[in-house]
Structure 1
Amino acid sequence: MTQAVDVVVIGGGQAGLAAGYHLRRLGLDFLVLDVQAHPGGAWRHTWDSLHLFSPAAYSSLPGRLMPPQPGETHPDADHVVAYLTDYEQRYELPVVRSVRVEAVRRDGEYLRVETDSGTWRARSVISATGTWSRPFVPAVPGRTEFKGTQLHTVEYRRPADLTGQRVIVVGGGNSGAQIAADLVLDTDTDTDTDLTWVPLREPRYLADDIDGRALFDHATARRRALDEGRTDTGGVASLGDIVAVPPVREARDAGLLKAQPMFTRVTPTGVEWADGTHVDADSIIWCTGFRPALAHLAPLGLRGPRGHIPTAGTRALGEPRLHLLGYGDWTGPASATLIGVGRPARDAARQIAQLLR
């Protein structure tokens, strides 16, 4: 059976919920399709020690401040999941679970959204599937020959899972630094983890007083400058790669985060550098980022450079009925963050309302 609505939002994480909030305020007929069985998006699947970069008040979706977490300046992932669950219920957002969207196709004046649970015809679609489901691991020579365990950020949970192991953490962004710090600061086990930290380039720490709110302001200023034809400010990337959250600062200041240059190949027992230096390892954790989860949009033929779909704001240039939300700065300044997704979600909802009128 095929059902018809004004708008289908694909993805029920933070971006999808922000979109739903604004669509509801505009009185549009919409629904949110989410592949997961429970609210919370990717926050349900992070490592145990992950905390936000910012206090709760600066980590909120539109319309509802995140309450503080008792005993924590920067809330943990469980608190975020509870907040998103409450947000969804408070605004009675029509989220349908568990639904996997398989394809979006043009169908006359509609876009046809095909899923494993039926088909919907929508006059407009917001894709908000994020990146967590598409972990990226670089094609380093010898990677498939390694006889130990290989994990990506999405699979790491806690230091206890790697107790007594020789671990190589690859990646110098926030996830790489935080997981490396998590391992070297672990005091819950009797046997230490032997860590080698390998950023892809020399680590660049942001100033210790910079948090998520400051990053959002920098991203917004960059977008405003570009829109007005002024010089590119460089945005967040100009400040550094690693937010110095308390555990990262502690490990860095204690001299426990010693960065090694990128190795040239993986061997069956570890990794090797160009000069022949070799380090043995039991596990390698690839904190090497993600790619946007856009396979469901392939039938529309919109894919551009670097796997991105060219957009004007959130609107796809090749299909004005499609908006992309929450994938990064190319779909709105800091739109992959809790605090940053509200404005592009509002803009997308308003543009859709104008289109439908």
Structure 2
Amino acid sequence: MNDLQVETEAVEWVSAFDDAIGSRDAAKLKDLFSDPAYFRDNGALTWDYRQFHGRDVVVSTLVGLAGEIQPHRFRISSDWPAPNLQDHGGNEIFEAFFDFDTKFGKGVLVLNAVRDGASSRLRARAIFTRLEDLHGTEPLARHPAGRGYVSAHPGQTWKQHRDAARQYLDREPEVVVVGAGQAGLTTAACLRRLGVDVLNIDRYDHVGDSWNKRYDALYLHNPIEMNGFPFLPFPPHYPQYLPKDLIGDWLDIYARYMDLTVWTGTEFVSATYDASADRWDAVVRSSDGTERELHPRHIVWATGGIGGKPFVPTWDGIEAFAGKVMHSSQYTGAADYGIKKAIIIGVATSAHDIARNLHDGGVEVTMFQRGPVVVNNVDTANLAYAGYLDPAIPTELVDLRYGIGLINPLRESASRAYHTMAQDIDRELLDGLKAAGLELGDGVDGQGWLDLFLRTGGGYYLNTGTSELIAAGKIKIEQFKRIVEFVPAGVELDDGSIVQGDIIVLATGYQSRKSEVASVFGQDIGDRVGEIARLDPEGEWASMWGQTGQRGLWFNGGGINQMRPGSQRLALLIKADLAGYISETFRRKANG
């Protein structure tokens, strides 16, 4: 089939879709979808992050949404690739990108279609819609005329103007973003681009310290190509796997580049929602103890990737250990402790990174495993996001395709197929780890680490060198269930032997963000929001980037490749709410 034929079929499908959704004709819509069919939306039609599974559900949902949102004028996009044929695991998928308008803004629709065996017509297997812009709230003009500010008094310089504005003495911020890491800063940058008055609050003394103060051996385990920030990609000379200090420096650069207002050394103490005034009453505390009340319309909680506060288990008798016990979040580097032997409890990413750092520092390391772990080489892991590594494919296009790939039944199938392939590729490595005593797993229903990242945020390791040390016996593995008791010198095992250690590092992960929210906003709001950054029943990452069960409270986090498009959608949704576009019909209901 030539390009003209492909485009002709795309025009035929989208013209029929435009007519059917415009007339809210369920029968016509149903005829355009395969069975099963799937629909995912990021803000364009639902003002939220939602997905719908099954042809009848998809059709009834689209008909229901069309009345108020009024999607129309679907046409082949000039911003994205022309309609084309894609090979998805040996299956031919028809891919097309369509721009469209709604009553409130503009969106893009991604179509994945298959050919009906009986009629040879294209039928949609999956569609993904994403909010791209809002009517009447276009981004700030490129290089606004003049000096970029209005003087409050004769002779006021730009710096004097910005210094005064950053104090918020004459106004309230429309949005307070809690956190000035990658999630917080990208959220603020996208909001500022839309003309929203936004303030970042961060407990660290300097922007970037959320990375600078982590353990010395920390590097990203995914490649730089997928980790660029909105509006500012990394320079080409940066390494493929970014060290934590370079990320910390980049956060500081980014905040300055985007001219963001960040109050560092400031703790977000508490907040209550005033429904009558449609605003928050929030208390923040600076490092000198001074407290101040702020009244934003919206709060974005952007304090971490997957979890909140460190999870520190309580084990009977651990106080008998004579050495130091610390959580992995407190660990810095082997040279800081002057030790000869170390015990690490946990075998996921942080545990592996710390174990290697200790080993490289001449420390004898034993890792205790509490549950199965999924392991793959980092090069094998890169195959899961090969699109980001192809310089011919723009990052924004990969992000858009990633959006349709997160439709849950499709994601699960793809994760399962990838995991099977990855296990075959890494068979030699995995056999060596098994022989060394490491218990390997396959994740949930054989979906491997890709699924675990979304489901729990842990339970896997993408190998950058520690696995070879384990397989060679240079880092020892023991099973946690063999521990009989903690003793002054370390731990006693079930055979009476003692595993000695001068420190015990608890690489035991983090509490859910739900508990963190309850501790700051109160249990009632914690209950209204429910789970955060965990798969919800639809297959979305609960409460992330879209609405939550508490009006005016939003969340950002996860991997940088998730935050990049997520921050943009989150900013648009907040702007839409400020503009009064989101009706009660589309408000997220409280959890439960």
Q: TM-score, normalising length from structure 1?
A: 0.83
Richer in helix (by share): 2
* Equivalences for residues 124-143 of structure 1 within 5 A: 124-130=298-304, 134-143=309-318
- In the other structure, the counterpart of 1:195 is 365
Name the amino acid aligned to 1:224: L
Q: Could you tell me how far 1:278 is from its partner in structure 2? A: 2.8
User: Per-residue displacement from partner, 1:219-273 (whole Å, max 9, x unpaired)?
Assistant: 957972228898695461469710112x324424543233210135423331133
1:79, distance to aligned residue in structure 2 (A): 0.9
Residue 505 of structure 2 corresponds to residue 285 of structure 1: yes
**Equivalenced residues, count:** 341
Q: Give 1:258's aligned residue.
A: 476
Deviation at 1:193? 1.6
* Misfit runs of 4+, over 6 Å: 215-219, 227-232, 304-310
Which moves more between the two structures, 23-32 or 235-244? 235-244
Amino acid at match of 1:113: A
Q: Cα offset for 1:287?
A: 0.9
Q: Which residue, 321, 336, 341 being the options, matches 1:166? A: 341
Per the alignment, in what secondary structure is the counterpart of residue 31 of structure 1? strand
Aligned partner of 1:113 among 279, 282, 302:
282
Give the counterpart of 1:236 among 450, 462, 468: 450
Alignment deviations for residues 75-99 of structure 1 (CA, whole Å, 9 cap, x no partner): 2111111111111111101112222
Identify unmatched segments of 5+ residues in structure 1: 187-191, 327-334
**CA–CA distance in structure 2, aligned partners of residues 210 and 222 of structure 1:** 23
Higher RCO (CA < 8 A, seq sep 6+): 1
For the residue of structure 2 that corresponds to 1:236, the secondary structure is helix
Partner of 1:350: 572
CA deviation map 1:96-131 (0-9, x unaligned): 222211111112311121111411111111111227
Flag the 1:215–1:150 CA change in 2: closer, same or farther, 3 A.
farther
- C-alpha contact (below 8 Å) 2:531/2:543 kept by paired residues: no
Q: Could you say which residue in structure 2 is the equivalent of 1:318?
A: 549
Contact 1:103 1:299 in 2 (8 A): no
Aligned to 1:80: 247
Alignment correspondent of 1:206? 376
Residues 543 and 554, structure 2, Cα contact 8 Å, conserved in 1: no
Using the TM superposition, give the Cα deviation of residue 43 of structure 1 relative to its aligned residue in structure 2, in angstroms: 0.5
Q: Secondary structure at the match of 2:573?
A: helix
CA distance in 1, matches of 2:509, 2:452: 19
Shift of 1:201: 2.3
Q: Which has the larger radius of gyration?
A: 2
Report the aligned-residue RMSD.
3.2
Specify the alignment match of 2:520 in structure 1. Answer: 296
Amino acid at match of 2:178: I
What's the % identity of the aligned pairs? Answer: 23
Q: SS at the partner of 2:461?
A: coil
Which deviates further from its counterpart, 89-98 or 199-208? 199-208
Look up the SS of the partner of 1:151 in the other structure.
Answer: strand
Contact residue 50 and residue 76 of structure 1 kept, 8 A: yes
Equivalence map 1:89-100=2 (5 Å):
89-100=256-267
Measured in 2, the distance between the counterparts of 1:210 and 1:228 equals: 21
Structure 2 runs not aligned, ≥5 long: 1-168, 286-290, 389-398, 416-446, 454-458, 537-541, 580-592
Q: Structure 1: how far apart are the matches of 2:257 and 2:383?
A: 25
